[in-house]
Structure 1
Amino acid sequence: MFGKMQRAFWKALTPDLVVDEPKVLAQPVSGLAANVVAALGGVDNLKSQQPVALTRVRVELRDMTRMDRQALTVAGVPGVMMLEGGVVHLITGLQP
């Protein structure tokens, strides 16, 4: 935790010298079912993904047109919130 605070402090003082941490690349087995990944356009269409809350996953897509909303519904994703820049929030609900 101290390391993150120290990094934020130096980034605030010298924003051009401290490099941002790279985003985690999406892996097909890191929390998304195979049918959900397929409905999002496949593994190669995912830039990054991260859980936002217990009921939501934030996914960055390379090409929004490859996403199939009906296939996401069939895969068990009750809600999809599309944002700008290829960002999609999958409302997953509390899954057992």
Structure 2
Amino acid sequence: MELVKKIEIITNSLELPRVLKILEKAGVSGYTIIENVTGTGDRGRVINDLATQALTNGYVMSICTEKSEHQLVKAIEPVLKKFGGVCIVSDAKWIAH
């Protein structure tokens, strides 16, 4: 097993392309996206019964090295401050195959 950082990002669906570019620039090569994420947070409740995806959230999960983590967090922070969302970084173990 390899020690890695698990990255979880929830942000406005319209910002997902920007988030993915940030991941790629930080050297993160793989990720999983779940669209139409619902929940509640600092900006109120987000539900999935809207006519447009402009107000929905997306969830991105990936893993990276500690070096990539610092670059990623620095780049994603302005997006989260402007458009809302969260970025959670935790220690994880990856079973390489």
Task: Normalising by structure 1, report the TM-score.
Answer: 0.37
* Greater C-alpha Rg: 1
TM-score, structure 2 as length reference = 0.37
User: Could you say which structure has the higher strand fraction?
Assistant: 2
User: Which structure has the higher relative contact order (CA within 8 Å, separation 6+)?
Assistant: 2
